Amino acid sequence: MTVPDDAWVFDTGPLRHFAIQGWLGVLRFLAGERPVYIPDSVARELDDAAEHMSAARAVLDAGWIHVHRSTSRDFSEAFAHYVDRLVGGGKNLGECGVLAMGQIYKCKVVIDDATPRQIAKEKGIQVTATVPLLCEAIRAKKLTTVMVEELADNLLEGQYYLPFRPGGFRQHVLENGLLDYDEL
């Protein structure tokens, strides 16, 4: 069995944040019929994170999130290339698996960090991020703007780069036409 090209493949960061907020159900709703995958490298990062953040465990326990691992040479070679681009001090292995899946199976990857997103673009991999998923959740009336604003501000306090400043989510999505007034 291979990974279908309509699958979503998640990096550790976006999943961890959805899990911490208790919004995994929202993600499942947004995915709809699309299968959701994580590579084993992301599963490992979540497993490590679960030691001090029990919410991450919810991702691993979610039966609808499939863990993918591959012994294919092409996959390993792609993975190795992304290790060369991203891994230092043992960090960022998760993203390597995500990008390798995007490259090999032509599916959409969900990554928030700027560098792997840039690399995905360079490689022609379909890439999206937390912000558009949150907008979609608001549009689908699964989350309120107030809830998302709070998460967006939390993300900005950490290592996340988002294209607006704290408190700026609402203005950003309006100015860029991501949401209309009546959707907020």
Partner 1 sequence: MRPVLCASATMCENRTVAGIDAQTLGERIRDARKRADLSQEDLGRAVGLERTVVNKIEGGVRKVTALELSDIAAAIGVRMSTFFEEPVPALVAHRSSQGLDTTDSQIDALLAKLANEIEFVASLDVDELGLDAADAVPQAGITQPLTNAEAEALAVKARDLMALSAEEPICQLSDSVASIGLLAFSHDVSKDTADAGTILLRRGGVSLVNSHMKVGRRRLALAHELGHYLIADAYTVDWRVADHSDHAVPMESRLDRFARALLLPNAAVTRQWNEKVARSGERSAAILLASEFRVDMATLATRLKELGLADSETVTSVRKYRTTQADIVEMNLYVPLEELKGTTVPRPFARAVLRLVRDERISRERALDLLQGTFDEADLPHIRERRPDEIWDFVS
Give residues in contact with partner 1 (CB under 8 A). Answer: 1-3, 37, 39-41, 43-44, 46-47, 60-73, 75-77, 79-81, 83-93, 96-97, 100, 113-119, 121-122, 128-129, 131-132, 135, 161-163, 172, 176, 178
| 65: CB partners within 8 A, 6+ apart | 10, 15, 36, 37, 38, 59
Q: How far is the CB of 51 from partner 1 (least distance, A)?
A: 10
Q: How far is the CB of 109 from partner 1 (least distance, A)?
A: 11
Q: How far is CA 151 from the centre of its chain?
A: 14
Q: What's the one-letter identity of residue 98?
A: V
Is 54 or 72 the residue whose CB approaches partner 1 more closely? 72
Helix, strand, coil abundance in the chain, percent, nearest 5: 55, 10, 35
Q: How far is the CB of 180 from partner 1 (least distance, A)?
A: 14
- Please report which helix (H) or strand (E) contains residue 154, including its range: helix 145-157
Is 66 or 170 the residue whose CB approaches partner 1 more closely? 66
